[in-house]
Amino acid sequence: MAAMHEVDYKVFGEDIQFVEIELDPGEAAIAEAGGMFYMEDGISMETIFGDGSQQRTSFVDALIGAGKRLLIGESLFMTVFMNTGQGKKHVSFAAPYPGKIVPIKLSEIGGELIAQKDSFLAAAKGVSVGIAFQKRLGVGFFGGEGFIMERLQGDGWAFVHAGGMLIERTLGPGELLRIDTGCLVALQSTIDYDIEYVGRIKSALFGGEGLFFATLRGPGRVWLQSLPLSRMARRIVAAAPQTGRGGREEGSVLGRLGDIISGDRS
């Protein structure tokens, strides 16, 4: 297994945060493309094929690892930020929208973290970033909101982002928690997670909470977010006024009532 880089870090901000990682000469961090905020002179960037863990020894193994990332909608490539200069250097990564950045030391939670695919921000070089296959296929197919998960493995620091307010819960053995699928940020591998159908068709159609819940059963720690990006995006789109062919604001109540009265529902 590749040696993990023991990086130091500091999180700045309250609602819109960024994490600054301090790298000694030769140390590096990895991140998805587009996540970097700023970096000091002496930090070099390299785009690599796969997840940057350097645990694979052949091109075929790297191709398989990259293919797993493609399955969860991520790029085949990751970016490595390495301190190639003299003395300590800093590179930072910004949260994509308001919320909290969660630093998690993988060695303290059993060396493995299962994370929502959009929540991963950055990690120390040596952390493996792959896909978490679920033995119950329903979790992947019916979870909604991208409920195909990422698996982070290693013993170094990983940084994930939670939208809105962050809640951390420790579930006891057999303790059950039901949540909206989009509100899950990350969980320990000891947590048994599955998808549960809401139930009565009336509840599913008119309850406003979708057709499925995520069920989490302990023991282990889970991290939850109060504002998934998908939920915020839906509210913004619904509230945004849209000028239609008739010149009225179709996003407003009057615009929709006008469509119904005039019979224009196209």
3-state secondary structure of 261: helix
Residue 35 sits in the same domain as residue 74: yes
Q: What's the confidence (pLDDT) of residue 253?
A: 43
pLDDT tens digit sequence for 170-192: 999 999 999 988 899 999 999 99
Provide Rg for the chain, Cα atoms: 21
Mean pLDDT of 244-255: 48
Q: What is the mean pLDDT of residues 21-49?
A: 91
Q: Do strands 220-225 and 184-188 pair parallel, antiparallel, or not at all (unpaired)? A: antiparallel
| Statement to judge: residues 75 and 19 lie in one domain | yes
Q: Whole-angstrom Cα distance, residue 126 to residue 1?
A: 8
* Banded pLDDT at 224 (limits 50, 70, 90): very high
- Please indicate, yes or no, whether residues 250 and 212 belong to a single structural domain of this protein: no
The percentage of residues in the chain with a pLDDT greater than 70, rounded to a whole number, is 68
- Does 221 map to a domain? yes
Same domain, 138 and 243: no
d(CA 92, CA 18): 7
* Per-residue pLDDT band at 129 (split at 50, 70, 90): confident
| The predicted structure's pLDDT at residue 169 | 96
Query: How does residue 140 score in pLDDT terms, banded at 50, 70 and 90?
Result: very low
pLDDT exceeds cutoff 60 at 152: yes
Q: Does 138 map to a domain?
A: yes
Whether the per-residue pLDDT at 145 is higher than 50: the answer is: no
Domain that holds residue 251: 239-266
Residue 207 to residue 201: CA distance in whole angstroms: 9
**CA gap 245, 189 in Å, rounded:** 52
Asked if residue 228 has a cis previous peptide bond (ω within 30° of 0), the answer is no
- Name which residue leads in pLDDT, 57 or 78: 78
245 shares its domain with 166: no
Q: What secondary structure letter does DSSP report for 25?
A: T
Band the pLDDT of 149: cuts 50, 70, 90: confident
pTM for the whole thing?
A: 0.75
What is the predicted pLDDT for the residue at 57?
Answer: 47
Query: Residue 263's pLDDT band (boundaries 50, 70, 90)?
Result: low
Residues 26 and 114 in one domain: yes
The answer to whether 17 touches 101, Cβ cutoff 8 Å, is yes
Same domain, 193 and 213: yes
Domain count, the chain: 2
User: Per the domain annotation, does 257 fall within a domain?
Assistant: yes
> Is 212 contained in some domain?
yes
Q: Are residues 70 and 126 located together in one domain of the fold? A: yes
Please give the structure tokens belonging to residue 121. Answer: 């921000």
Q: What is the mean pLDDT of the chain?
A: 78
Q: Are residue 212 and residue 251 in the same domain, yes or no?
A: no
**Number of helices followed by number of strands (H, E) in the chain:** 5, 19
CATH of residue 81's domain is: 3.60.160.10
Shared domain check, 143 and 52? yes
Nearest to 131 by CA among 155, 154, 151: 151
For residue 63, pLDDT over 60 is answered with no
- 45 pLDDT above the threshold of 70: yes
Measured between alpha carbons, how far is 28 from 23 in angstroms, rounded to an integer?
A: 6
In this prediction, residue 244 carries a pLDDT of 54
Would the pLDDT of 265 be above 90?
no
Q: Amino acid letter at 119?
A: S
For residues 233 and 109, which has the higher predicted lDDT (pLDDT)?
Answer: 109
Please name every residue paired with 44 in a beta bridge, in sequence order, or none if there are none. 82
Q: What is the pLDDT of residue 72?
A: 47
Give the Å distances, CA to CA, from 180 to 73, 111, 152, 177, 235.
21, 26, 22, 10, 16
**Starting at the edge strand that comes first in sequence, how are the strands of the sheet with 176-179 ordered?**
176-179, 212-217, 192-197
Say which range, 37-51, 212-226, 241-255, has the weakest mean pLDDT. Answer: 241-255
One domain, residues 218 and 114 = yes
Identify the pLDDT of residue 130: 81
Report pLDDT digits (tens) over 100-122: 999 999 999 999 999 987 889 99
Query: 152 and 179 share a domain?
Result: yes
